[in-house]
Homo-oligomer: A and B are copies of this chain.
Amino acid sequence: MTDPTATTPDRRPGGRTARVRAQVLDAVRAELTESGHEGLTMEGVATRAGVHRTTVYRRWRDVGGLLVDVIDAAGEVDWQPPDTGSLRGDLTALNQEIQESLVVQPSFALALMAASFHSEQAARAQRKLWADRYAQCEILVDRAGGRGELPSRDTDARALLITATAPLYHQLVLLRTDPDPRLPERAAAAAVVAAVAGAFAVRPEEGD
């Protein structure tokens, strides 16, 4: 184990290392959203960040390293799932957040997804971020169970969350349809209806 008190001064939060990282990751986000994954270069990021190239190479190694760190940084944000008082309200709010992140022009979320088709490192980091977010959202289902909104506490929370959110990604990322302002609520409502009808009940043989 590393002794946490052994941290050198420039590694403490808010120190030089943290400042350099913030500058570099801001530059990565800006380059990614403006020119996409193909336009991302170590040199471009260093120039935009105003950081020496050798620092960027030493610390992030290559474009894959930059992508991974920018995704990891997204996971470090203190994000909290919505808490509106009802499952339908929570899932609608979640879907609205997803829709906004995909519809904003240019979309950093879309640029990351495109990048993860071409970088196995980025794909892995993104998979982890998504898994974490879905895990955080399971509390929505627990709370709904506690309020008696669901027929049984044994609801497959992940399956319910995927059903509620997948239509947003499918329509906006893959089918590229125009955003439908009613979709966040409709997709949420359909998932709740299915959940209430027992569609995500964990069958006894699976729990054993």
Using a CB–CB cutoff of 8 Å, the interface residues on chain A facing chain B are: 36, 38, 113-114, 117-118, 123, 127, 130-131, 159, 162-163, 165-167, 169-171, 173-177, 186-187, 189-191, 193-194, 196-200
Contacts and interface: CB of A to CB of B under 8 A. Distances in A.
Nearest to A117: B114
A186 B169 contact: no
A113 to B, nearest CB: 7
- Main secondary structure, interface of A, reads helix
A176 B119 CA distance: 13
B117 A175 contact: no
Contacts of A171: 162, 166
Contact of A200 (B165, B175, B190): B190
Nearest to A124: B176
15 contacts: A36-B118, A113-B174, A114-B118, A159-B186, A163-B187, A165-B170, A166-B169, A166-B170, A166-B171, A169-B170, A189-B199, A193-B193, A193-B199, A194-B197, A194-B199
A205 to B, nearest CB: 12
Nearest to A198: B193
A193 B186 contact: no
A121 to B, nearest CB: 13
A150 to B, nearest CB: 13
